[in-house]
Amino acid sequence: IAGITQAPTSQILAAGRRMTLRCTQDMRHNAMYWYRQDLGLGLRLIHYSNTAGTTGKGEVPDGYSVSRANTDDFPLTLASAVPSQTSVYFCASSERGGPSSYNSPLHFGNGTRLTVT
Amino acid sequence: AQKITQTQPGMFVQEKEAVTLDCTYDTSDQSYGLFWYKQPSSGEMIFLIYQGSYDEQNATEGRYSLNFQKARKSANLVISASQLGDSAMYFCAMREGGMTTDSWGKLQFGAGTQVVVTP
């Protein structure tokens, strides 16, 4: 089934540890995104990539990094996890990114529930 | 400033009835898209329906329709003939087609409306 695969589904992580959340899509979408969802704060964009080889910062990029070496994969790395990064992380993709993308819906993975202790 | 406003934190609706979820938005762009997503208790985000700023007809997808009033900047979701499986959080969202890199591609969400469908 075509879509977005995120791994792991959930993780408990000690503060200070490094962690990479994986995201793979098989829809050949150009653009990919990482959001975090927190109670009371909604969904906030962390980083995005409008096409392979490019990335950009969203609303809450501090403490996170991304790479986009190819079309399909968009991993999110927490270099040194802190408790405030406890959240549900969603990876998403859309057919287009950039200025022509306003009519291109995002499709989401099932999320990764991360707890930093 | 809040770009998407959903004023109803929660709603109860009886099975088989229709329900309208409110959404207002704020943008100065001429080109933009409006989206509705459903998030059931299992957590996944499901794309429901899309309305473009240039679309003259209201969007429909099965039991979902979007009541788009451009002058009032509102994009309300109507769910007809509610089913128990419609119980979920519903998010209104917008993508702007502006000329700043800040707005490109960013899907901005409202706070959501929790819908509970009762038998």
Query: What is the pLDDT, as a whole number, of residue A15?
Result: 98
**Do the Cβ atoms of B105 and A105 come within 8 Å?**
no
How does the average pLDDT of chain B come out, rounded? 92
Q: Which residue has the tokens 């469908």?
A: B117
**Do the Cβ atoms of A110 and B96 come within 8 Å?**
no
Residue A101 in contact with partner chain B when CB distance is under 8 A: yes
Among partner residues A43, A100, A107, which is closest to B109 by beta-carbon distance? Answer: A43
**Do the Cβ atoms of B105 and A50 come within 8 Å?**
yes
CA distance B119 to B115: 13
Among partner residues A42, A56, A108, which is closest to B111 by beta-carbon distance? Answer: A42
Residue burial A43-71, b: 16+ Cβ < 10 Å; e: rest: bbbbbbbbebeebbebebbeebebebeeb
Structure tokens at A28: 């050949």
B49-74 pLDDT, tens digit per residue, is 999 999 999 999 999 999 999 999 99
Contact between A8 and A75 under an 8 Å Cβ cutoff? The reply is no
Of chain B residues 39-98, which have a CB less than 8 A from chain A?
43-47, 50, 52-53, 91, 95-98
CA distance A23 to B111: 25
DSSP B58: P
Query: What is the pLDDT, as a whole number, of residue A97?
Result: 85
Instruction: State the nearest Cα–Cα gap between A106 and chain B, in angstroms.
Output: 7
Q: Per-residue confidence at B104, pLDDT binned at 50, 70, 90?
A: low
Structure tokens at A71: 């079309």
Among partner residues A56, A97, A111, which is closest to B43 by beta-carbon distance? Answer: A111
A56-70 pLDDT, tens digit per residue, is 999 999 999 999 999
CA distance B20 to A21: 37
Q: How many residues does chain B have?
A: 119
